[in-house]
Structure 1
Amino acid sequence: MTELDATDRAILAALRRDGGLNAKEVGDAIGLSQPAAYRRIKRLEEEGVITGRSLIVDRAALGFEVVVFLGVKLAVRGRASMADFERAVVAIPEVQLVQHVLGVYDYRLKVVARDLADFERILRRRIMTLPGVGDIESNVLLSDEL
């Protein structure tokens, strides 16, 4: 386990807000020189604290106005059925997130669609035909700006 001091935590906070910041920008944001910020960021990467940076795409700008979270319960449980389901579900481009969970459902999916008609098409033609799918519960996202 890596011990983090206040400066390390400030670096991580700055990079969580904007993963695209370079060492100079991180240093400026937290009151550190560029070389010192670079060394600390590099150390955090080498120690596995920072494992990568991600790109955030505005789904609405691409025409995806609807987000639906699905709870999926497999009809048959077992390693083979889970592997078949996982292999097939990750191949669906509208499925943005696949989580194997414990509870009523076996999986939680985040699906994006252009509109409700598009979501219905994705649900009927792609998700409901996946190997092993049993029960599905849909929850349409109303707001994520709270």
Structure 2
Amino acid sequence: MIRLDDTDRALVRAFTEDATASAGALGRRFGLSQPACWRRIKRLREGGVFRDSRLDVDVAALGFGVTVFLGVKLATKGRVSLEDFERAVSAIPEVQVVEHVLGLFDYRLRVVARDIPDFERVLRRRIMTLPGAGNIEANVLLSEERRPGPLDLL
């Protein structure tokens, strides 16, 4: 685990607000030169604080108006490996997130679809045919509120 000082924490907070901010702009904001700020950002990346850069796409703007969270309980543990299930489910383009979880279900999936009939098609033709898929529970997303940054532990 990398040690963070107050300036590092401030940089992490700033990046959660605007991941496109330049090292020069952040340096001016926090009283650092551009090279000093860049070295800190590089150290945070190399230390694993920033895993990667992603573009946050609004799937609704692309025509995907339905988001469903699925809980999937594997029916045949042992006969079908977790890797087989994960590989197969990751190949489904409508599945945006695959999480291996502990609890009532073995996996939690975030699935997007154009509408409910489209979701039903994805469910019947792709998800229910996955190797080892057993019980499936669906929860349709009604609204989503996002926290603007990391936990207030920084």
- Following TM superposition, the consecutive aligned residue runs of length 4 or more in structure 1 with deviations greater than 6 angstroms are none
| Superposition deviation, residue 79 in structure 1 | 7.1
Partner of 1:62: 62
TM-superposition CA deviations, 1:24-74 (whole Å, max 9, x none) = 232244443322211211121222322322111111111111110000001
Q: Aligned partners of 2:43 and 2:83: how far apart in 1?
A: 36
Instruction: Report if the CA contact (8 A) 1:14-1:29 is conserved.
Output: no
Q: Aligned partners of 2:30 and 2:121: how far apart in 1?
A: 48
Closer, same or farther: CA 55–29 of 1 in aligned 2, 3 Å: farther
Q: Residue 52 of structure 1: SS of its match in structure 2?
A: coil
Partner of 1:90: 90
Instruction: Report if the CA contact (8 A) 2:66-2:115 is conserved.
Output: yes
TM-score normalised by L of structure 1: 0.92
Partner of 2:103: 103
Amino acid at match of 1:72: V
Partner of 2:4: 4
TM-superposition CA deviations, 1:64-103 (whole Å, max 9, x none) = 1111000000111127432221111000000000000111
Show structure 1 runs of 5+ residues with no match.
none
Closer, same or farther: CA 10–106 of 1 in aligned 2, 3 Å: same
Q: CA RMSD in A?
A: 1.6
Q: What is the aligned-residue identity percentage?
A: 65
Amino acid at match of 1:48: G
Count of residues paired in the alignment: 146
Q: Aligned partners of 2:111 and 2:117: how far apart in 1?
A: 13
Closer, same or farther: CA 139–34 of 1 in aligned 2, 3 Å: same
Partner of 2:40: 40
Q: 2:107 matched to 1:117?
A: no
Q: Residue 93 of structure 2: SS of its match in structure 1?
A: coil
Closer, same or farther: CA 49–145 of 1 in aligned 2, 3 Å: closer
TM-score normalised by L of structure 2: 0.87
Q: Aligned partners of 1:42 and 1:9: how far apart in 2?
A: 14
